[in-house]
A and B are shown apart, each in its own frame.
Chain A
């Protein structure tokens, strides 16, 4: 017997069998939709037009304008010294193509001020960012500076991924913490320490389509409006059907991380208690307000149903394309609204309820990795990028630095009254209170979603849905206990 030939045959048989098994196994875990993004080390990333390394700019952000602005601004100082020799600082952010050009310009001028700090910016799409850096964290290497969404921060902090910044803040006398909204810093704080500097922190406001109000000959909403008034107005403003339907309000109240501040606290209700260890949706106050919103959906039909909302072409929010009279949305949509001329719009305070006026203030931050080898350089970058000066240079519409709101709004063409309303909201009632931020948040929201959707579709009554939801969400909250 030819043992050699037999072994080859055996090998081939084994290979054939494993080849058949591999697609099954690999498909169990692979994500072909999200292809890994290449790690680009230069200042220009895929999706961004190639920029001149010596004069980065484009039609939206001309280099000359950036240079003039950069020279006109006073950049903040810190007692943290520049590195004595050259260091490469990796910065992981998420940005759209437009913002990316501005970021390239920021890095260009930053390099001029700090010749020993070379910025290696990695820009990822928002929907791929977390997966990418969680995987990188598992591999043991994270960028020196990294973006964090408000809802991810506490998980990173609890797992010792971020470096507390207090020591560096103390070494920066010009660091104006008062310029940051204290009532919304809770996402990035733990045990009295600050782990992230917010980039944008904005309240959700009531936006309205002036054209639809004018057609209906109705007064625009103002700060005297209650939730009931808003829902009644939404019913009156709803018109048409099918493709030509105009909704009075969009979207329906969904059980998302900020639902308490967005719709329940006005009536004394909440999704979870303050330390996110108990479900409170089943209590009468929450039930009452959810019932009110369900009536608006089912009886008044003043909001898009799940079927309609899921299938708006390309999933564009109906308000943004002029198909809804009102929406409650983050102040950051002002930039987009300011650029369109399909309809006139305005924004005012969110409506109040018997227990007062509430709105979530949410946003993102940049943090320093605990494992960074260049912490001092990282702080110098963070301090400048997230200073009022840095936020004015980047012209973001909802800057965390309160002093950057007005100059940015003026540059972006956002009405001054809207900005003033946003700033008042940030000072008086917008906060992180009632917004889920602990590690189980995503699982809580995703668990609640199908149950709430059955109620929205009319397949389940409110009372039994809330009971089921309480039963299913309560065990998940154990994951919020951070040791």
Chain B
């Protein structure tokens, strides 16, 4: 008998065995996905064409929820706020965490301790973070305004003012960026030292080495953090719900919170589902644009 048996379809026995194992291992995830994500996703599409208050059977309303959405000024207001928050938090987060990662990549004593300290905020729960920042941003007792007072600046009312509430949330969003720092650190450690040595031989100073070696080599990592950060910030609402509930005067009403309000305050599930699909399309569109723009600035070492 030959070592390798062939089936009727020409497959070897090991290949069929491998295929079986593949399906066995992938099936828990696939089944879980279909049941707990796939079905709700399909259900949410159908739901978006209905009026459903949870207490009665859904009634089919066709495109009414989408028409209502397009005519809803608060929806557009929430879109503007969402992009404000998204752009602000990603820009600040990417720059700040990249700089922190550069510092943490230096061969210093207690490097491990510094890295741990920087990561610690990431393990603090969301509610605790919100309470902490409510106190940090307090106009009278808050740390930030106390520090500003030391240099003679009267701090704003932060979360209580229309102008400063969103900047305050953007500032807070940088907190807990430990995961991003870890990704940057991994990227920084993957840059070949030979590139820096070559640059040095060519007479490049620290800025040239940073700008012409570090940044291009890190561009795929930066791009990853920009894309995932933007998606996360477009969906963010939990901390905003706790801290401002969308106020004052809707100044921090982001789309995620607007969806939450329609779903779990008004129990208008059809409209909330329509809003969710609008958010999904926005996320997809923004991500596609980012991928298109990435061709101009992201450098891949291997293609």
Binding site for B on A (CB under 8 A): 4, 8, 11, 15, 18-19, 22-29, 31-34, 131, 134-135, 137-138, 155-156, 159, 161, 242-243, 305-311, 313-315, 442-443, 446, 449-451, 453-454, 457, 459
Contact = CB atoms under 8 A, between A and B. Distances in A.
Contacts of A305: 157, 160
A437 to B, nearest CB: 16
A453 B283 contact: no
SS class, residues of chain A in contact with chain B: helix
A34 B38 CA distance: 22
A454 B161 CA distance: 10
Given A8-B19, A308-B139, 9 more contacts: A15-B29, A24-B280, A138-B54, A156-B55, A310-B159, A310-B160, A311-B138, A443-B266, A446-B266
Contacts of A32: 126, 238
A4 B11 contact: yes
B118 to A, nearest CB: 24
Contact of A26 (B37, B131, B273, B277): B37
B264 interface: yes
B155 to A, nearest CB: 11
A23 B230 CA distance: 13
Contacts of B85: none
Contacts of A25: 37, 41, 44, 276, 280
A4 B44 contact: no
Interface stretch (B103-111, B179-187, B246-254): B246-254
Contacts of A306: 160, 247-248
B231 A23 contact: yes
A137 B55 contact: yes
A32 B55 CA distance: 23
A156 B53 CA distance: 11
A28 B259 contact: yes
Contacts of A24: 231, 235, 280, 283-284
Count chain B CB atoms within 10 A of each CB in A18, A27, A443, A453 and give the residue with the most.
A27
Contact of B247 (A15, A18, A27, A449): A449
A135 B264 CA distance: 10
Contacts of A31: 238, 260, 264
B159 A22 contact: no
Contacts of B159: 307, 310-311
Nearest 9 A-B pairs (CB), nearest first?
A: A307-B160, A307-B157, A28-B276, A159-B55, A450-B250, A453-B249, A27-B235, A243-B140, A138-B54
Contacts, number: 139
Contacts of B213: none
B15 interface: yes
B81 to A, nearest CB: 12
B299 interface: no
SS class, residues of chain B in contact with chain A: helix
Contacts of B139: 307-308, 311
B33 interface: yes
Contacts of B33: 15, 18-19, 22
Contacts of A4: 9, 11, 15, 19
A313 B138 contact: yes
B241 interface: yes
B263 A29 contact: yes
B288 interface: no
B56 interface: yes
Contact of B53 (A18, A159, A315): A159
Count chain A CB atoms within 10 A of each CB in B15, B37, B231 and give the residue with the most.
B37
A479 to B, nearest CB: 9
A457 B140 contact: no
A242 B41 CA distance: 50
Contacts of B280: 24-25, 28
Count chain B CB atoms within 10 A of each CB in A24, A26, A305, A443 and give the residue with the most.
A24
B259 A442 contact: no
A24 to B, nearest CB: 5
Contacts of A156: 55
B141 A243 contact: yes
Given A33-B241, A137-B54, A305-B160, A450 B276 contact: no
A443 B238 CA distance: 20
Contacts of A137: 54-55
21 contacts: A4-B11, A18-B38, A19-B33, A22-B33, A22-B37, A25-B276, A26-B40, A28-B279, A29-B272, A159-B56, A242-B140, A243-B140, A305-B160, A307-B159, A307-B161, A308-B160, A311-B158, A311-B160, A315-B134, A450-B246, A453-B247
Given A159-B53, A459-B162, A453 B248 contact: yes
B5 to A, nearest CB: 15
A29 B249 contact: no
Interface in B8-40: 9, 11, 15, 19, 22, 26, 29-30, 33, 37-38, 40
